[in-house]
Structure 1
Amino acid sequence: MAHTVGFIDLEGWEEERIRKEFPDEELFLAKKSLAEISDEDKAKLEVLSVFVSSKVTKEELLKMPALKFISTRSTGFDHLALAACKERGIIVSYVPGYGDHTVAEYAFGLLLSLTRKVYTALDRIKESGPFSPEELRGTDLSGKTIGIIGTGRIGMVSVNIALGFDMRVLAYDPYPKEETAAELGYRYVSLDELLANSDVVTLHAPYSEATHHLLNAKNLKQIKRGVFIVNTARGGLIETDALVTALQDGTVAGAALDVLEGEGEIGDETALLRHADADPEAVKLALENRVLITMPNVLVSPHNAFNSQEAMERIMDVTYGNLRAFLAGKPEHVVPQQ
């Protein structure tokens, strides 16, 4: 018996392969986000595959009474109402690893752009500025200490890249890999020790209640002065107003951010301000993000670290496997909370 399977947030290039992978299912393919899909179409879905750009809230789930399975095309799943899914008995699968090198490479690209003022140099030339290295002096990575927060798949690739740059590596993770650390030559320390001794801090931790504002007003006051911060994980790992303050007073020399807290509101600040019932905290966060974007010592990219063709193809391969496993009655890569 055919199932109604919905793939949302598509780009278009995936459609031919999807049809080949699931010839016997009733397919609903859309380039739109879930919020843009009609309630009538949502009500038919038994299986749903989404990207992080679609928020599967408790309210959205109510519009999908037939839904039995969600496969998110991402490693993170904070865009899904997992508690509501569990209540409904909806199984949720994710992609545990697809872009370990992809994201880690991007993080170091951002770091080099920050420490060597690459963006500023290129922008100056493109905007017909002087062909001169004046005011473009940067700092080497070799010999510096990097603090890596989170040593999962991406964090471990970052460790190896940092060692390749001849950096000293400190790591923080609730589940340290002590044997690997001894073998490769890096060291696990407490978060406070990492922050106090690192010239660079890069975040590769998942976002959860436990990691919300992992970097915050309290510990950013204790961080090594002149540190560079890179975040390609989740915006909510850093308390935004505390970061703005640390950047303004020179505690943090610069930040390279591929993710922002409340990034869904970026570009919609005017609409947010016009809402009579707008959440004051959301308004405050949107304005703080705008401040970050305009600061000269901050680089912001649009949640792009995952975005290589190879990574996207790996995401789809794992997703096809997740769907086939569910349809066969043997779900794979079920999110840890379930």
Structure 2
Amino acid sequence: MNILFSQIPEQWQKDFFTEKLSSHSLTFLDTVITPENVSAYQNTDVLSVFVGNPVNEELLSKLPNLTFVTTRSTGFDHVDLKATATHNVIASNVPFYGENTVAEHAMALVLALSRKLPQSLERIEDGKFNYDGLQGWDLKDKTMGIVGGGHIGMNLARMAKGFSMNVVVYDLFKNEELAKEIGFEYVELETLLTTSDVISLHLPLNEHTTHIIDEKAFKSMKNEAIIINTARGGLIDTEALVQALATEKIAGAGLDVLESEDQLKEEISFVAQNEDQSAFGTLLLDHILMEMENVIVTPHNAFNSKEALTRILQTTVDNIIAFESGTPQNVLSNGGKE
């Protein structure tokens, strides 16, 4: 099979796939595959992408031989499953790879905010060795509210309990046995928002979860609360977040994802080509967030550990081999087949 990998800039990843898929013809792109550059790859049978590389009707219509798409991620909002079904393309993802990895990053953001680590580092870099204005707060006996009780959320719950925190979880699907084992309580979203000192988001992005944290949600939170997002930027209404922070309605935010992060990555071309004024507004607000002292922003890096990346690559290989054998795994869309 002719397999095209987008967003593979590092040689060790290319070497990994080359070794594991030696019987296939592999092509690697450092950047994304787009309708503009796809013409050179029309013989592609299998496409592997990462977040930030849209797989949509326009792209699929220019890949006539494509039969399988596998995204090297758990989230798949960048893959248009209706379009893959229309084109009889099977789609898969990597459902589990970094549940502990992302949870560790979320906890790192909590600790950095609660103990004012960025300000402390800046103080030392300025040549000052004093702790004036750097008083933090303990996690012990505080309440961690986890929105989304999947694998990442449950790993974070275990970590929070290790810090002697109280843990509440909002999820549509409840596992009371696991709640008892870990020691958390399921609550409604409104209860979580009003009682939590730390609120951490671990949901997929879809029509039901977009802006689940909006102006009304922020009004329900404690003034001392901090919010953590290592999932998808669109879960939070950026304008409402900036307003909540600016008015001290909440105390801080730790963000590994931003609502307009794709535009931030390609800001020059975005400004030149985009006519959507609302997109300009969100982009500007994301810049404002990055300048706020009570906000920590990391560049969608929560997944990025050596161990997690290796699991992503191996599962992608397994997905391709399973598809080749006629028994696709981790299927998001069966390509319109019954």
Is residue 217 of structure 2 the alignment partner of residue 219 of structure 1?
A: yes
Q: What is the aligned partner in structure 2 of residue 107 from structure 1?
A: 106
Alignment of 1:1-338 (within 5 A): 3-10=1-8, 11-35=10-34, 38-126=37-125, 128-266=126-264, 268-269=266-267, 271-275=269-273, 278-335=275-332
Structure 1 residue runs without a partner (length 5+)? none
For the Cα contact (< 8 Å) 2:74–2:94, is it kept in 1?
yes
For the Cα contact (< 8 Å) 1:269–1:283, is it kept in 2?
no
Query: Within 2, Cα distance between the matches of 1:294 and 1:270?
Result: 20
Structure 2 residue runs without a partner (length 5+)? none
Query: Within 2, Cα distance between the matches of 1:50 and 1:247?
Result: 35
Kindly provide the CA deviation profile for residues 91-112 of structure 1, in whole angstroms up to 9, marking residues without a partner as x.
1110011001110001010111
Distance change >3 Å, CA 85–CA 199, structure 1 → 2: same
Stretch moving more, 59-68 or 233-242 = 59-68
SS of residue paired to 1:169: strand
Shift of 1:184: 2.4
Query: Within 2, Cα distance between the matches of 1:136 and 1:84?
Result: 52
Distance change >3 Å, CA 4–CA 253, structure 1 → 2: same
SS of residue paired to 1:14: helix
Query: Within 1, Cα distance between the matches of 2:43 and 2:267?
Result: 34
Residue type at the aligned position of 1:111? V
Query: Within 2, Cα distance between the matches of 1:337 and 1:175?
Result: 24
SS of residue paired to 1:101: helix
Query: Within 2, Cα distance between the matches of 1:283 and 1:337?
Result: 36
SS of residue paired to 1:211: coil
SS of residue paired to 1:146: strand
Query: Within 2, Cα distance between the matches of 1:266 and 1:182?
Result: 42
Higher relative contact order (CA 8 A, sep 6+): 2
SS of residue paired to 2:109: helix
For the Cα contact (< 8 Å) 2:90–2:334, is it kept in 1?
no
Q: Percent identity?
A: 42
Shift of 1:190: 0.3
Q: How many pairs does the alignment contain?
A: 334
Stretch moving more, 191-200 or 205-214 = 205-214
Residue type at the aligned position of 1:295? M
SS of residue paired to 1:201: strand
For the Cα contact (< 8 Å) 2:85–2:333, is it kept in 1?
no
For the Cα contact (< 8 Å) 1:269–1:287, is it kept in 2?
no
Query: Within 1, Cα distance between the matches of 2:267 and 2:32?
Result: 20
For the Cα contact (< 8 Å) 1:9–1:53, is it kept in 2?
no
Shift of 1:283: 0.5
TM-score of the superposed pair, with normalisation by structure 1: 0.95
Stretch moving more, 328-337 or 246-255 = 328-337
Kindly provide the CA deviation profile for residues 202-246 of structure 1, in whole angstroms up to 9, marking residues without a partner as x.
011111111111101122111222210000010011111011111
Shift of 1:53: 3.0
SS of residue paired to 1:28: strand
Query: Within 2, Cα distance between the matches of 1:234 and 1:227?
Result: 20
Distance change >3 Å, CA 326–CA 267, structure 1 → 2: closer
SS of residue paired to 2:296: strand
Stretch moving more, 4-13 or 187-196 = 4-13
For the Cα contact (< 8 Å) 1:214–1:238, is it kept in 2?
yes
SS of residue paired to 2:74: coil
Residue type at the aligned position of 1:22? L
